[in-house]
């Protein structure tokens, strides 16, 4: 079976969900994969939940609609409710434990908790929480390699927000630590 991975990332508008998905797609493209990123768009973008889907494949990407993802990134409570039962059996859930509680979790999936807001606040800027999550994703999924993801963050920030590069890199590494710990225990 050729490589085909589907991901949904969801949270509040403003949590950097769209960017997170784009970085994953971008990194995978840089690794030679075919990629697709698609946002939910519309009224829900303002204040409500926002989500995007990413598909990474070494073959053709046909349907752009992701019904049952392999990877689910959840940044707020409503998104967990909406998406968690759609995660494929054996899939990986990464959720922001600062804003999300998950009682009675499914036992047929991998569950990775990350206190993304705490990590970001400790570093001094809550807005890098999404990059901390990306660091986790780098370790616990095969959407794209950690190196490619890191390079993409550098590429994207390097162009416009060079002064934020350092804090983002730190957030990414903190996320990686969380991810590595999970992998070690699993």
Where do runs of H (alpha helix) occur along the chain?
A: 17-30, 77-83, 116-123, 129-140, 146-160, 165-185
Eight-class DSSP state of 5: E
Q: Is position 67 an interface residue for another protein (rule: CB under 8 A)?
A: yes
Burial readout 160-181 (b: 16 or more C-beta within 10 A, e: otherwise): eeeebeebbbbbbbbbbebbbe
Q: Minimum distance between the CB of residue 25 and another protein, rounded to whole angstroms? A: 6
Question: What does the DSSP 8-state code read for residue 33?
Answer: -
Q: Please identify which residue in the block is written with the tokens 């490619």.
A: 148
**Interface map 31-50 toward another protein (x if CB under 8 A):** -x-xxxxxx-xx--------
Residue 83 makes contact with another protein by CB under 8 A: no
Find, among 58, 51, 90, 45, the residue nearest to 71 by Cα. Answer: 90
Among 19, 29, 111, 165, binds another protein (CB under 8 A): 29
Candidates 27-35, 91-99, 143-151, 176-184: pick the segment binding another protein (CB under 8 A).
Answer: 27-35
Return d(Cα 93, Cα 111) in angstroms, integer: 5
183 binds another protein (CB under 8 A): no
State which of residues 2, 46, 65, 85 lies at the interface with another protein (CB under 8 A): 65
Determine if 143 is a binding residue for another protein (CB under 8 A): no
**1 is an interface residue for another protein by CB under 8 A:** no
Residues binding another protein (CB under 8 A): 22, 25-26, 29, 32, 34-39, 41-42, 60-65, 67
């Amino acid at each position: 079976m050729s490589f085909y991975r589907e991901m949904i990332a969801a949270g509040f508008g403003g949590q950097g969900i769209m960017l997170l998905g784009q970085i994953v797609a971008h990194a995978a493209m840089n690794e030679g994969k075919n990629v697709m990123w698609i946002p939910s768009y519309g009224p829900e973008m303002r204040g409500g939940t926002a989500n995007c889907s990413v598909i990474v494949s070494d073959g053709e990407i046909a349907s752009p609609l992701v019904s049952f993802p392999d990877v689910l990134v959840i940044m707020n409570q409503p998104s967990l409710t909406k998406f968690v039962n759609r995660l494929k059996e054996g899939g990986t859930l990464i959720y922001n434990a600062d804003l999300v509680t998950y009682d009675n979790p499914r036992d047929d999936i991998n569950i990775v908790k990350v206190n993304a807001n705490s990590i970001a606040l400790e570093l001094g800027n809550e807005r890098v929480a999404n990059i901390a999550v990306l660091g986790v994703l780098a370790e616990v999924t095969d959407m794209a390699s950690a190196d490619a993801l890191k390079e993409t963050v550098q590429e994207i920030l390097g162009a416009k927000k060079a002064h934020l590069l350092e804090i983002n890199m730190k957030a990414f590494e903190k996320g990686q630590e969380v991810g590595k710990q999970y992998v070690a225990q699993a």
